[in-house]
Amino acid sequence: MPHSTNGADSRRARHIALVILGALIVVATYLYLVVWRPTEIAHTSTGRASLIAIGGYVIGAVLLAVGSIHRLPTTTVALIPVAIALNIVVGQIVSVIGLPVYLDSIGTVLVSVLAGPAAGVVTGILTNVIWGLTLSPIALPFAVVQVVIGIFAGTAARWGMFRRVYTAPLAGLVTGVVAAMVSAPIAAFVFGGATGGGAGAIVGAFQAMGQSLLGATTLQGLLSDPVDKAITFTVVALLLIALPARFLQRFPFARAHRVFGRTGPKAAQTALAREG
Amino acid sequence: MSSTVYVDRGSPVHRLNPMTKLVAMLCVIVIVFALPVWWVSGLVLAVAIIPVAVISRCGRTLSRISATILLPILVVLFVVQGLTFPGGKTALVSWGVFTVTSEGLHFALGIGLRLVCLVLASVLLVLTTHPGDLMSALTARGMSPKFGYIISSTLQLIPAFRDRANAILLAQQARGLSVKGSPLRRIKIMMPLLGPLILGMFTDVEDRSTAMEARGFGSTARRTSLVPVPDSSVQRVSRWVMPAVSLAVIVVPFATGAL
Amino acid sequence: MTGMPLRFEEVHYRYPAGVEAIRGVSLAIEPGERVAIVGQNGAGKTTLVRHLNGILKPTVGAVHVGDWLTADHDIAELAARVGYVFQNPDEQLFARSVQADVEFGPRNLGVAPEETTRRAEQALATVGLVEQRNAHPHHLSLSERKRVALAGVLAMHTPIVVLDEPTTGQDAAGIDMVGTVLDTLAADGRTVIVITHDMDFCAEHFRRVVVMTNGQIQADGDTRTIFGLEEALAEAAVEPPQLVRLSQRLGWEYSPLNTEEFVEYCARRRSERIG
Amino acid sequence: MIRLDGVSYAYPDAVRPVLENVSLDIGRGAIAGILGASGAGKTTLAKIMAGFIPAVDGGELSGTVSVDGQGMGDLPLAEAVSRVGLVIQNPFNQISGARYTVREEIAFGLENFGVARPEMQGRVDEVAELLNLGPLLDRSPYELSGGQQQLVAIASMIVLRTPVLVMDEPTSQLDPAGTRMVFDVLSTLRGTGITVVIFEHKLELLHQHADALYVLADRSIVAAGDPTDILADARLAEWHIGSTRYTRAARAAQDRGLLAGLQHLPVSLEQAVAVFADDGGAR
């Protein structure tokens, strides 16, 4: 073999270090913005806070993605573009059909469940990069939110929360709460709360009730994100239950962590029938 | 046929190395966010973004796209912050319970101008840089080729995926599925729609990963590239000069106590 | 259940992107007729038949399905009259079992549950998939999945059935099965319209052929006559069936459409020659 | 050139093997067709030949696969794919999507293997000329017809200079015009020394282009030989492969006692003309 086990080990250590560093930066950014509450916000400007919000989140998310992508096998790499297309196209269909939810992270959740949190992280961040390249660059600062969704969905899958339809929405709720909290500083400091018509009005209402800008965007996020993520996780769980076992078992992560429970003789039978 | 907004106008801006444009865009964004004064954003807009937009001959497309993105945000920003900014004290106008404060509007102006710079600079980059060139440039600089593959491939897949979603919707309607009715009914139709879309996706993924492996995607060899990315020594130097100047612009006001 | 008359009146269709895919088509099909539509890719075959169930509405002209004008009804309503089997089964199969998928159509049309089950079983028997009724559709081969999609439309008991390329991706056994299904539909008196590239299949199962080129009808008539029109077919880039090509090479005046006709004619020539 | 000896394979968790004791030997530069009904295991066999099974799908593979005397079993996938190229059914999925012009798409594999730019340019131009792709080189692969996309897919494999090219039903998603394009490529490849293995249903075209035919049925190779002999085999019906209308007509005529003394059933138009012209035809 051209490279020794030693080289592979050190590369692996470097990737893990990147992931840990990325995660630390994201957490530190959030804590700095929320716990320290830079005093300037109360006055006239959010400039530096927003620079820290964008910079910390984007750098953290990029490090997480760079550390994660090397571990992905070709099957997973081939899955990610379709999953991102799914995020974007389903997000659009939903708005065409006129449903009161976003469902724009179905692909991210699906990939995380099948191929693990690392794959979810890459799908999440690249979804927003592509959104930025095609539709609107304002999606970019929010990349970290999709990254959070990827990590949580992958972890929930590892804990077996996608084996039953009723545990998936619970995982979705928790993910939604964290997503809302992480995105609030961006919505507040970068966008002044004005991320969309409806959301902006709600932020205004909370501010009028005496909340700070960050408080208002956090509360606004908590109103919409947990419900949306609970629905997204449920839809993914339903879809996966309807899928043939053979597809699901192709993914080493799904197999190793028995994401869908045990593979019984039934799965073997069906695998045979397909190849016949 | 991809879903990007790239417009080939062959201008000098188009011919720049993608890295040069990327560095310039990042510098602009960092400056306007690090110097939280509204006229800094205005100045950057006037001396950097608008001239480049004019040279690129993409001005009209740029204004159209940016207006679609920015207008809703700016309107909400000024209305909400003008009326409800927590630090608002000086009333400008009042109707009953509604009071517009000058602090609120000032706050909205600062954020609004920064957002205008952010959106214009990044849309300008996307309009004048083919995503393939951007990916080649980044891959040449050590980015994992997997990132480049995923991004380029997604951009080309989206239209096909949209077509397939439409085809599925039609096929199910042709079997009598009605898309009218209450939100609950409409949620129920998601399964017949998403089911085939995702099943088809799995078959495609199996095929696509086979086809990629067959062409050495899993090879550990150092990648080469058929089409060279244009570059020049002036650009190479400017990629160092721009960040240095930005840094100076940011640090000097602090050092001299001007801010 | 009997068929229903269909009528295209001077139909033009222009896609939103600006391409005029149908350029003045008038066509009448009687109840219970079996019609094959042939022609190159891009000739407008699929665009034409998609007017029947309202997926497309004419830019100019009118399409009548029985006493309905398609412009006045949406796809889901027209589904009660026109069953449409898409070329790619994977664009419609979604349920966890073959049976459930076949029941989807009749249920949408408001058919009672017991009747739905009965129809699904009958349709699965017609396409020879009774044993696989509890299997997951995606565990089946492409040939079988195409037959599931076909059964799903059969179970809707529509007076008109449209099939887009039912024989592509099928092996010999699958093609024979589709042929049998067409015969069953015809025996029921239902109107059947099929788009196909398989001219041998076309010759063996259809009595009327419509040849399309460039969004227009190049030729329309009795199968034997159409396959005798060497020039028109060449213009439409349609290669006649193997037996017709053979008879042409042999210099026969007669175009046999299937093995029986070929052998019959062969025998007659021989007896005439001897006699 | 490519040789399989006693190859058996079962998918992971499967109770029964998909293939049992498959042996075949295809010589250098030959064009070999493999026939089989839907679900006979054609795709599985194609992936075994190209080294994807068991490397990607896992499962139990016994027997040996060798290319030019070298066993494929010991090679890592990245190495195996430089010996045997694989063209899959659906040209749309074969396009990498990572590149924006046909020229770059063809070069994608060479880039992955790290071939130097000047050599890469030369090889792309050479393949483009061989397959007549010149006018398409600067277009987006996604704007092409299905047939043209399949040609690009084939070109992007040939450019890698693998000695063997396996095509898994390359025309199943194409219309007659696209199908003809792909079969015309087979004639072009003849004489280049590339060994081609093509899995196909289209009997008349296979007869025109293949040097030898193999029949895959009941999990094994059940017949092999000259296309004219294989296509006249009466057992093709049992194997759900069917036969050309020429053969069917001749068989029916024989049953009616019309073609007494006929030694070989016709399988192509030319042969049928000869047979029937003698009997009831122009004479």
Residue C213 lies in a domain: yes
Question: Which pLDDT score is estimated for A215?
Answer: 87
Give the structural domain span for C130.
6-238
Compare CB distances from C246 to D172, D258, D269 and report the shortest one's residue.
D269
B36 to A77: CB separation less than 8 angstroms, yes or no: no
CA distances from B188 to C228, D23, D74 (A): 52, 51, 51
Q: Is A270 on the interface with C (CB under 8 A)?
A: yes
DSSP bridge pairs for C84: C162
Task: Find out whether C162 and C49 touch, Cβ atoms under 8 Å.
Answer: yes
- Work out the pLDDT band at A99, boundaries 50, 70, 90: low
| pLDDT tens-digit series, residues B42-96 | 999 999 999 999 999 988 999 998 998 888 888 888 888 888 777 777 777 778 7
Look at residue A3 in the predicted model and tell me its pLDDT: 46
User: Comparing B129-138, C127-136, C256-265, D125-134, which segment has the lowest mean pLDDT?
Assistant: B129-138
Q: What is the rounded CA–CA span in Å between residue C51 and residue B69? A: 38
CB contact under 8 A, D142 and B226: no
Partner-chain residue, chosen from C144, C237, C243, that has the shortest CB–CB distance to D177: C237
Task: DSSP letter for A91, please.
Answer: H
- C200 and C265 fall within a common domain: no
Contact D92, D105 (CB under 8 A): no
Angle at D234 between CA D229 and CA D235, to 5 degrees: 105
- A67 contacts A15 by C-beta, under 8 angstroms: yes
- Choose the mutation target among A3, A46, A74 for the interface with B, i.e. most B CBs under 10 Å: A74
D282 pLDDT above the threshold of 70: no
Query: How does pLDDT run across D199-257, given as a tens digit for each residue?
Result: 998 999 999 999 999 999 999 999 999 999 999 999 999 999 999 999 999 999 999 88
Q: Is residue C270 part of a domain?
A: yes
- What HEC string does chain B produce? CCCCCCCCCCCHHHHCCHHHHHHHHHHHHHHHHHCCCHHHHHHHHHHHHHHHHHHHCCHHHHHHHHHHHHHHHHHHHHHHHHHHCCCCCCEEEEECCEEEEHHHHHHHHHHHHHHHHHHHHHHHHHHHCCHHHHHHHHHHCCCCHHHHHHHHHHHHHHHHHHHHHHHHHHHHHHCCCCCCCCHHHHHHCHHHHHHHHHHHHHHHHHHHHHHHHHCCCCCCCCCCCCCCCCCCHHHHHHHHHHHHHHHHHHHHHHHCCCC
Q: What does the alpha-carbon distance between residue B177 and residue B162 come to, in Å, rounded to a whole number?
A: 19
Residues C157 and C257 in one domain: no
Nearest CB to B77; choose among A93, A100, A192 = A192
Preceding amide of A265 cis, omega within 30: no
Task: Please give the CATH topology (third level) of the domain spanning A74-259.
Answer: Arp2/3 complex 21 kDa subunit ARPC3 (1.10.1760)
Q: Does B218 touch chain D (CB under 8 A)?
A: yes
Specify the 3-state DSSP secondary structure of C11: strand
CA distance D262 to C244: 22
Distance from the D59 Cα atom to the nearest Cα atom in chain B, whole angstroms: 16
Q: Nearest CA to CA, how far is D57 from chain C (Å)? A: 17
Is residue C1, in this structure, part of any structural domain at all? Answer: no
Count structural domains, chain C: 2
- Under DSSP, is residue A79 helix (H, G, I), strand (E, B) or coil? helix
B157 CB neighbours in chain D (<8 A) are: 97
Beta bridge partners of C209: C36, C221
Residue C263 at interface with chain D, using a CB cutoff of 8 Å: yes
Comparing C-alpha atoms, which of C172, C118, C167 is closest to residue C147? C167
Q: Which of B185-194, D11-20, D126-135 is modeled with the greatest confidence?
A: D126-135
Best of C170, C195, C242 to substitute, by most chain D Cβ atoms within 10 angstroms, is C242
Contact B35 A47 (CB under 8 A): yes
- In this predicted structure, the answer to whether residue A1 has a pLDDT above a threshold of 60 is no
Report ipTM for this prediction.
0.83
Query: Could A242 and C140 be called an inter-chain contact, meaning their C-beta atoms sit closer than 8 Å?
Result: no
Calpha distance A58→A52 (Å, rounded): 10
C9, containing H or E segment: strand C6-14
Helix axes C259-274, D245-255, angle to 10 degrees: 50
Q: What is the DSSP code (8-state) at residue D27?
A: -
Q: Are residues C123 and C246 in the same domain?
A: no
For residue C166, give the 3-state DSSP assignment: coil
User: Is the pLDDT score of C83 beyond 80?
Assistant: yes
**Which residue would you say has higher pLDDT here, C143 or A149?**
A149
C-alpha C98/C-alpha C141 separation (Å) is: 13
D88 with B204: Cβ contact below 8 A: no
D220, containing H or E segment: strand D220-225
Tell me the pairing of strands C191-195 and C160-164: parallel
Average pLDDT over chain A reads 82
Judged on CB neighbours under 10 Å (0-12, 13-18, 19+), C187 is exposed
Report chain C residues whose CB lies below 8 A from the CB of A244. Answer: 136, 138-139
Per-residue pLDDT, A37: 63
CB-CB under 8 Å, B149 with A86: no
Does the pLDDT at position A269 exceed 80? no
Size of interface C-D (CB pairs under 8 A): 99
* Contact criterion met (CB < 8 Å) for D97 and B130: no
Which C-chain residues 88-147 have CB contacts (< 8 A) with chain D?
A: 141-144
d(CA D48, CA D33): 16
Smallest CA–CA distance, residue C252 to chain D, in Å, is 8
A244 interface with C at CB cutoff 8 Å: yes
Residue ranges per domain, chain A?
Answer: 74-259
Say whether B176 and C92 touch across the interface (CB within 8 A).
no
Least confident of A102-106, A150-154, D6-10: A102-106
Per residue in C143-188, pLDDT (tens digit) is: 889 999 999 999 999 999 999 999 988 888 889 999 999 988 988 8
Residue A268 is predicted with a pLDDT of: 39
- Strand, coil or helix: C54: coil
- C64 vs C8, C27, C34, C70, CA distance in Å? 7, 10, 17, 6
Of the candidates A102, A105, A207, A95, the one whose C-alpha atom is nearest the C-alpha of residue A152 is A105
The structural domains of chain B, with segments of one domain joined by +, span 12-129+230-255, 138-214
Indicate whether C96 belongs to any domain: yes
Question: What is the maximum span of chain B, computed from C-alpha positions, in angstroms?
Answer: 74
The rounded distance, in Å, linking the Cα atoms of A84 and B156 is 12
User: What is the helix (H) or strand (E) element at residue D219, kind and residue range?
Assistant: none
Note whether B221 contacts D114, CB cutoff 8 Å: yes
DSSP states along C232-263? HHHHTT-PPPHHHHHHHHTT-S----SHHHHH
Question: Chain B residue with minimal CA distance to D158?
Answer: B215
Distance CA C185, CA C34 (A): 9
Q: Which of A42, A47, A69 sits opposite B146 (nearest CB)?
A: A69
Contacts of D280 in chain C (CB under 8 A): 266-267, 269-270, 273
The answer to whether A99 touches B193, Cβ cutoff 8 Å, is no
pLDDT in tens, B199-224: 887 778 888 888 988 998 888 888 88
A236 Cα to chain B: minimum distance (Å): 10
D156-168 pLDDT, tens digit each: 999 999 999 999 9
Rounded CA-CA distance A103/A114 in Å is: 18
The Cα–Cα gap between B84 and A210 comes to 9
Residue A197 has pLDDT above 70, yes or no: no
Residue C261 and residue C154 share a domain: no
A110-147 per-residue burial string, b: 16 or more CB within 10 A, e: under 16:
bbbbbbbbbbbbbbbbbbbbbbbbbbbbbbbbbbbbbb
Find out whether D179 and D150 touch, Cβ atoms under 8 Å.
no
- Taking the CA of residue C264 and the nearest CA in chain D, the distance in Å comes to 9
pLDDT at A276 over 50: no
Q: Which residue is listed with tokens 């058929």?
A: B226
From CA B112, how far away is CA B32, in angstroms rounded? Answer: 11
Helices (H) and strands (E) in chain A, counts: 12, 0
Q: Name the 3-class secondary structure at D14.
A: coil
Contact A272 D12 (CB under 8 A): no
Say whether residue B106 is in contact with chain A using an 8 A CB cutoff: yes
A21 Cβ partners below 8 Å, 6+ apart? Answer: A63, A67
Q: Tell me: do C161 and C44 sit in the same domain.
A: yes
| CATH superfamily entry for domain D2-231 | P-loop containing nucleotide triphosphate hydrolases (3.40.50.300)
